[in-house]
Amino acid sequence: MKVVGHFINGETCTPKGRMQDVYNPATGEAEKLVLLASKATVNDAIVSAQNAFVEWRNTPVSKRARVMFKFKSLLEEHADEIIALIGAEHGKISHDAAGELQRGIENVEFACGAPQLLKGEHSKNVGPSIDSWSEFQPLGVVAGITPFNFPAMVPLWMFPLAIVCGNTFVLKPSERDPSCAIFLAKLLKEAGLPDGVFNVINGNKEAVDQILDDERIKAVSFVGSTPIAEYIYSKANANGKRCQALGGAKNHAIVMPDADIDNAVNQLLGAAFGSSGERCMALSVVVAVGDKVADEIVDKMQSAMESLKVGAFDDATNDFGPLITLQHKEKVEGYITSAAEQGADVVVDGRNPSVKGYETGFFLGATLIDKVTPEMASYKAEIFGPVLQVMRVKSMEQAMQLIDSHEYGNGTCIFTRDGEAARYFSDNIQVGMVGINVPLPVPVSYHSFGGWKRSLFGDLHAYGPDGVRFYTKRKTITQRWPSSGIREGVSFSFPS
Ligand code: NAD
């Protein structure tokens, strides 16, 4: 079986050590093995990043950006290979993988603007013949720990920007779909990135803990589930590291009585079931204002769902693919069972779909559950599967209270024709990313991505302007060149 190793100091390596199966979720078969980095391997990656840092930090920013220009072209040139790698290990449909890659490329495009982004701030004559400026210096070796659900895009949220800011990088991708990151590392090398600036180690908790404990690593960007995000954030902080840890979600869409219901239903279908609901921005709860709206949505969803097609990634006529593992599929099925046991109506049950030729794959069909209430386990948890839950409320205030009471605050959306209601909603809702008739309000690369409440631990969001701040530290320099004219005597007080 093919073994997926690491990428350290410009080379792939497969040292002997512990391994884990990598599944093709469409067939349900383990088709590759991934190495789980030992302490020595993690150390090699950190040493390599540390050795590369001084020269890279002193490389002119325009040259650093030029590597990203080339990297962008290579990503486009090799898009089909990347899409196939994502499909084979993650299972998402090729057009969805293409979309993921495109969003990632947009982060590379943003990083190409590094000379502009790092210009700093300058003030002349802040005092007599005194100038002051702030510059944004790299931190050193920084690390990224990423989830399975976007094997290309989420790493691309992190390392292009970190690298153009002058840092060197150690990436620990998800061990469930590890090949994409290695492929990206090879393209970066081809783009002219010096060896050691970008390293990939595959592994699990052991490698992550080592990253968190190693004082040579100055900052950690994490994206994954909330319990792990919270753990990473506390441990990184306790060890004096800068950390941004993005966690899980439960994204609600409010549908107001005045909304264009047909449009809302179309938007909800894609946002709930696209990528099998394995997106942190997936809309997993519809909050219908009024029973009439709820009944209409359930009716229209039900008939639209009949034509949804679940299947393998390489058939572009499929709407979404399998779940990532058998365990995850069983967990999602468990939430459907528990919703029914707790009194909800399972209107469309996606369990046991028939997918011809892929009978052993980890497939689950689109599922619609009505009359869900806040006490239900399936409502409290992030299901992370193709399951859309419908809740019924009487007013927009009630809908907003529901959203604000949930532990997560990643994304949300309102469907309405009423500008005033939409404005009130976006102004007051306690959620970090808000859509108005836009179901997946993922910020573009020149804004920044992040939720509120237990969807993000840390102060700065990912990528965009916050990313530049995260990967740099401000240094403010105040300068005077004394000459006989302005030389002053001793002073023990602040000038007044
Ligand atoms: P996960 O938390 O299981 O894993 C994420 C990373 O953490 C992986 O690299 C994994 O190896 C590592 N990890 C897992 N357990 C660990 C432990 N005990 N100690 C240290 N490291 C550990 O997440 P996942 O299942 O890969 O991804 C799905 C989750 O990610 C969902 O909750 C989803 O909402 C979230 N997510 C959030 C965002 C966001 O931007 N907020 C984006 C994508 C995914």
pTM of the model: 0.97
At a CB cut-off of 8 Å and minimum separation 6, what does 177 contact? 22, 86, 89, 90, 148, 151, 324
At residue 58, the pLDDT reads 98
User: How far from 429 is each of 151, 267, 287, 443, 462, CA to CA, in Å?
Assistant: 30, 21, 14, 17, 21
Tell me if residue 280 is catalytic.
yes
At residue 486, the pLDDT reads 61
8-state DSSP, 182: H
110 within ligand 1 shell (Cβ under 6 A)? no
207 within ligand 1 shell (Cβ under 6 A)? no
| Ligand 1 atom closest to 226 (CA) | 32
Best of 4, 18, 103, 149 for a ligand 1 pocket test (most atoms within 8 Å of beta carbon): 149
At residue 484, the pLDDT reads 59
223 Cα: distance to centroid of ligand 1 (angstroms): 6
Tell me the C-alpha distance between 3 and 464, whole Å: 35
At residue 220, the pLDDT reads 98
Q: Taking a C-beta distance cutoff of 8 angstroms, is the pair 241, 272 a contact?
A: no
At residue 326, the pLDDT reads 97
At residue 483, the pLDDT reads 73
Q: Write the single-letter amino acid at 253.
A: A
- Residues β-bridged to residue 456: 246
Tell me the C-alpha distance between 151 and 458, whole Å: 23
382 within ligand 1 shell (Cβ under 6 A)? yes
At residue 487, the pLDDT reads 64
Which listed residue (112, 243, 280, 413) is catalytic?
Answer: 280
Q: What is the pLDDT along the chain (496 residues), one digit of tens a residue?
A: 999 999 999 999 999 999 999 999 999 999 999 999 999 999 999 999 999 999 999 999 999 999 999 999 999 999 999 999 999 999 999 999 999 999 999 999 999 999 999 999 999 999 988 999 999 999 999 999 999 999 999 999 999 999 999 999 999 999 999 999 999 999 999 999 999 999 999 999 999 999 999 999 999 999 999 999 999 999 999 999 999 999 999 999 999 999 999 999 999 999 999 999 999 999 999 999 999 999 999 999 999 999 999 999 999 999 999 999 999 999 999 999 999 999 999 999 999 999 999 999 999 999 999 999 999 999 999 999 999 999 999 999 999 999 999 999 999 999 999 999 999 999 999 999 999 999 999 999 999 999 999 999 999 999 999 999 999 999 999 999 887 556 667 888 887 7
